[in-house]
Structure 1
Amino acid sequence: MIEGVKVKNLVKYCDDRGFFAELIRDDEPELLSRFGQASLSMSYPGVIKAFHYHEKQDDLWFFPSGNAQVVLYDMREGSPTKGKTDVYYMGEENPIMLLIPKGVAHGYRVLGEKAATIIYFTTESYDRDNPDEKRIEWNDPSIGFSWETKNR
């Protein structure tokens, strides 16, 4: 696992009405050291949104509907896991919260035949005049990740 990445497994409290689950609490600073912003996005089946990274902010991702293949690549100089790639499968089938530290490139591919919705929390608010978002092509050879499904 890339250093600084954290996974929180969600606990669902189910009854005859449905379920309830806590995403993030103010007594979990190890997941979000500071609240900056909460955002919501939807992507259609097969869409790849990759890669980007931040210099100032951490991201905390959650997919409440649909499923996604999430790819992280550690770009941080001096990190013991620099150059390491991690893959997570998140969404309805695996409801987890994923903390992505600043300096770790990240992106995702929507899996299946259903759109995926992501809710993400950041430690900084988005600054339209000076965005903390550095882009890398989804197929960048320095990362070298294959987004193809591997039939087994």
Structure 2
Amino acid sequence: MKIIPRRLEGVYEIRLSPLSDHRGQFMRTYDESIFADYGIHRHWVQENQSVSVSKGTIRGLHFQYSPSSEAKLVRAATGAVLDVFVDLRKGSPTFGEWDSIELSDDNLAMIYIPRGFAHGFCTLCDHCTVQYKVDRKFSPAEDGGIRWNDPTIAVQWPTETPILSDKDKNLPTLDMFISQNKGLDTE
């Protein structure tokens, strides 16, 4: 497993290293000691799985307000997605900036996203399964998000006509988020 710091501080790309033979392959998707070496070990309390049946489905951009702010460890178990994360941390020099990575069952990449980020993804093919660990239990009362097509953030999604939930269609803009809040806590 190889861990690579990304452009936005605290975000890490994880490249998995499968062992293959005539039977197939085996790979470790988490190793506490390796993650601890990078200061990104968490006590994962929940693991979630999302299945999207159609290419062009966007889920996000979601986050949890304090005290339920959560770090995530995300991978595509099947298919391929463009995974997007937006820095919403209070006082961060990259507040409002985004980055992305393609996660797929072919490239075996994962992404570690610390607390204080909005997160979402767009499916790049039909039948995608995304799995992610979180270090805090989901709280409906602290659930939040930013609109997927917010012009201030200007994420370059691979579709202009995504399949969206009603919730995601009606999320606030970054400007609305800022007017209600100065940013997310990372604790």
Instruction: Indicate the TM-score class for this superposition, using the shorter chain for normalisation.
Output: 0.7 to 0.9
Structure 1 residue 144 and structure 2 residue 154: aligned?
yes
Matching residue of 1:119:
131
Does the 8 A contact of 1:32 with 1:122 survive in 2?
A: no
Structure 1 residue 3 and structure 2 residue 9: aligned?
yes
- Looking at structure 1, the residues matched to 158 and 144 of structure 2 have their Cα atoms a distance apart, in angstroms, of 24
2:43 to 34, 48, 54: 34
- Looking at structure 2, the residues matched to 119 and 133 of structure 1 have their Cα atoms a distance apart, in angstroms, of 19
- 1:93 Cα offset (Å): 2.7
- 1:25 Cα offset (Å): 2.1
Structure 1 residue 80 and structure 2 residue 89: aligned?
no
User: What is the TM-score when the length of structure 1 is the normalising length?
Assistant: 0.87
Higher helix share: 2
- 1:26 Cα offset (Å): 2.7
Counterpart amino acid of 1:87?
S
Does the 8 A contact of 1:40 with 1:118 survive in 2?
A: yes
What number of residue pairs does the alignment pair up?
147
- Looking at structure 2, the residues matched to 31 and 38 of structure 1 have their Cα atoms a distance apart, in angstroms, of 17
User: What is the TM-score when the length of structure 2 is the normalising length?
Assistant: 0.72
Counterpart amino acid of 2:115?
K
54-63 or 22-31: bigger deviation? 22-31
- Looking at structure 1, the residues matched to 108 and 130 of structure 2 have their Cα atoms a distance apart, in angstroms, of 11
Matching residue of 1:99:
112
Matching residue of 1:108:
121
Q: Which has the higher contact order (CA 8 A, sep 6+)?
A: 1
SS at match of 1:142: coil
Does the 8 A contact of 2:77 with 2:129 survive in 1?
A: yes
Matching residue of 1:14:
20
Counterpart amino acid of 1:64?
A
Does the 8 A contact of 1:32 with 1:58 survive in 2?
A: no
Counterpart amino acid of 1:5?
V
SS at match of 1:51: strand
Does the 8 A contact of 1:32 with 1:123 survive in 2?
A: no
Report Cα offsets for 1:53-86 as digits up to 9, x if no partner.
2332101101111000111111212113223221
Structure 1 residue 65 and structure 2 residue 74: aligned?
no
- Looking at structure 2, the residues matched to 15 and 87 of structure 1 have their Cα atoms a distance apart, in angstroms, of 32
Structure 2, unaligned runs of 5 or more: 1-6, 160-187
- 1:95 Cα offset (Å): 1.0
Does the 8 A contact of 2:122 with 2:158 survive in 1?
A: no
- Looking at structure 1, the residues matched to 143 and 72 of structure 2 have their Cα atoms a distance apart, in angstroms, of 12
- 1:31 Cα offset (Å): 3.6
Q: Percent identity?
A: 30
Does the 8 A contact of 2:56 with 2:158 survive in 1?
A: no
